[in-house]
Amino acid sequence: MSAVLKIANESEEIISYNPATGAEIGRVAETSAEETKAAVERSREAFKAWRKTSFAERKRFVMKAREIILAEMDEIALLISNESGKPVAEALSMEIAPVLDLMQYFARNAEKLLKPRKINIGLYAALGRSSKIIYQPLGVVGIIPAWNYPFSIPLGEAVMSLMAGNTVVLKPSELTPFIGLKIGEIFEKAGLPENVVQIVSGAGQTGAALVESAPDKIMFTGSVATGKKIAESAAKNLTSIVLELGGKDPMIVFADANLEIAADAAVWGAFCNAGQSCSSVERLYVEESAVENLTNLIVEKTRKLKLGKGNDAATDIGAMSSERQLKIVADHVESFEKEGAKILTGGKHHDLFFEPTVISGANNSMRAMQEETFGPTLPIATFRTEEEAVKLANDSEFGLTASVWTKDLSKGKRIAERIEAGTVCVNEVLYTHGIGQTPWGGFKNSGRGRTHGLEGLMELVQPQHIHVNRVAILPNAWWLPYGATAIETFKGFARYFASGSLFQTSKLVPQLLKRIKELRKK
């Protein structure tokens, strides 16, 4: 058995439930701390051979894994839906399709993206030197994802890690352990060499054990609180980390926007995945003159949405993934009401199904406009000026994504650049995690580092600088021993060579020759 790690200690089990029905899906034994450490050690061994594979070989495995996903698409979509609660439609549109695209993109392009790069070293080149950067893999990448996109996020990160030449130990969320095991099974079926991808199962303590096992990188997706714990623990081994954390993403709608489209976007952006997206629209700011029209459109569209089980094709909004999350949403809705906002539609729940909830009269002083809700709520606030819109949007500890809606694209782009967020869309919302070619990550407490895109791939390699002296026949002027000639020469370096100008540097030549002659004599 290569990709899937079967677990030793049978007494500690995670029970996976279907949040829509409460039915048990199955049980997975927890991987102990010792087993997790052993998995990292095996991964380090496997890395020795994997790092030597060509991009073409890696591509073959990843493309094979894609074929397996395509062949098992219905089964995988249903598993994602059953374990996370989301509609099958979203398992397909927001997880399977985007990650298949990411897989083909990095399989086909990693070699080009990681091509060795020559560096322009200016006047040093005139001295016969050359420099290039090559990108070396890191070693073992530990992946610790959240439960909200349990297939696409860890699988995408695993594929990028593999294409960069690393091996992977993945610990899925305890709420979605079978999806994690499915990822292991896919790689196993694709014929990936033993221990190149391993899955360890468990909750926070297994995640903590993975971090303590000192992999070479941790790719973490989850809450700010856990992110801080991981940063602290990783620091003990100087393990570098990428943190993809929470969001409180603003959507700014100007009166000149296409309000019909903006309303559709707000409804999807706030309620898809039952609002459990890190880049969900959590705050809607509307120019005062348009608020009535936009709100009416949003309420009308929201009332038509169907709550239901994920495996029903008619379902728009599925069950929330956990009771813990549902309680936060209920608390936020209650606190909005207490602080004077008005629930226009929704606000109630039965079991883990929370009605999509539209709230008017919100403002930034309300607690639930500051804390991440991570559920199907859409609070609406207003602004009067461009300046005020930017100020309200930036008034948050988070900065993951944001969107600006206006027909005036230059205004849209101008405002976008003033928003403190890792991604800002103009007349678009939420979906760019699905474009694997683009970087993903947050400003402020929304995270550190990037996944996806060239920037994300660079997180998974270490640049190595190769410097060559093609004319190693004379000692360098800056070598030992020193003396009066050396000091005069170094002043010349400061005055002329360091100017970057070849003309200025030519003034240094007589002094340089004198110094070299002196060095050769010694």
CA distance 217 to 63: 24
In terms of CB distance, is 144 or 155 closer to ligand NAD? 144
Contacts of 173 (CB under 8 A, 6+ apart): 145, 146, 147, 150, 180
In terms of CB distance, is 166 or 213 closer to ligand NAD? 213
Q: What is the DSSP letter of 464?
A: E
CB-CB neighbours of 144 under 10 Å: 27
Selected catalytic residue, list 30, 83, 157, 244: 244
> From its phi and psi, is residue 433 left (phi > 0), alpha (psi between -120 and 50) or beta?
alpha
- DSSP labels for 254-281? -TTS-HHHHHHHHHHHHHGGGG--TT-E
Residue 144: which of 210, 240, 100, 191 has the closest Cα?
210
Asked if 452 and 129 count as a contact pair (C-beta separation under 8 A), the reply is no
Q: Cα–chain-centroid distance for residue 96?
A: 17
Q: Describe the crossing of helices 484-495 and 509-521 by its angle, rounded to 10 degrees.
A: 150
In terms of CB distance, is 273 or 295 closer to ligand NAD? 273
In whole angstroms, how close is the CB of 150 to ligand NAD at the nearest point? Answer: 9
In terms of CB distance, is 144 or 519 closer to ligand NAD? 144
The answer to whether the peptide bond before residue 154 is cis (omega within 30 degrees of 0) is no
Asked if 371 and 332 count as a contact pair (C-beta separation under 8 A), the reply is yes
In terms of CB distance, is 16 or 148 closer to ligand NAD? 148
CA distance 8 to 35: 8
Residue 19: which of 259, 300, 323, 285 has the closest Cα?
323
**Does the annotation mark 488 as catalytic?**
no
Give the CA radius of gyration of the chain.
27
In whole angstroms, how close is the CB of 446 to ligand NAD at the nearest point? Answer: 6
In whole angstroms, how close is the CB of 223 to ligand NAD at the nearest point? Answer: 4
Determine the residue type at 94: M
- Phi, psi for residue 132 in degrees, rounded to 5: -140, 160
In whole angstroms, how close is the CB of 207 to ligand NAD at the nearest point? Answer: 2
Residue 14: which of 171, 202, 198, 209 has the closest Cα?
202
CA distance 30 to 10: 7
CA distance 481 to 176: 65
> From its phi and psi, is residue 441 left (phi > 0), alpha (psi between -120 and 50) or beta?
left
The answer to whether the peptide bond before residue 481 is cis (omega within 30 degrees of 0) is yes
Binding-site ranges for ligand NAD (CB under 6 A): 144-148, 173-174, 203-204, 207-208, 211, 221-223, 226, 229-230, 244-247, 278, 372, 374, 400, 442, 446-447
Question: For residue 360, what are the β-bridge partners?
Answer: 342
In terms of CB distance, is 97 or 121 closer to ligand NAD? 97
Q: Which residue is nearest to ligand NAD (CB)?
A: 207
Asked if 414 and 364 count as a contact pair (C-beta separation under 8 A), the reply is no
In whole angstroms, how close is the CB of 374 to ligand NAD at the nearest point? Answer: 5
Selected catalytic residue, list 157, 278, 287, 459: 278
In terms of CB distance, is 202 or 492 closer to ligand NAD? 202
**Does the annotation mark 244 as catalytic?**
yes
In whole angstroms, how close is the CB of 172 to ligand NAD at the nearest point? Answer: 7
In terms of CB distance, is 227 or 310 closer to ligand NAD? 227
In terms of CB distance, is 61 or 440 closer to ligand NAD? 440
Q: Which two tokens stand for residue 226?
A: 């856990």
- DSSP labels for 360-407? ES--TTSGGGTS---SSEEEEEEESSHHHHHHHHH-SSEESEEEEE-S
In whole angstroms, how close is the CB of 189 to ligand NAD at the nearest point? Answer: 24
| Residues marked as catalytic | 244, 278
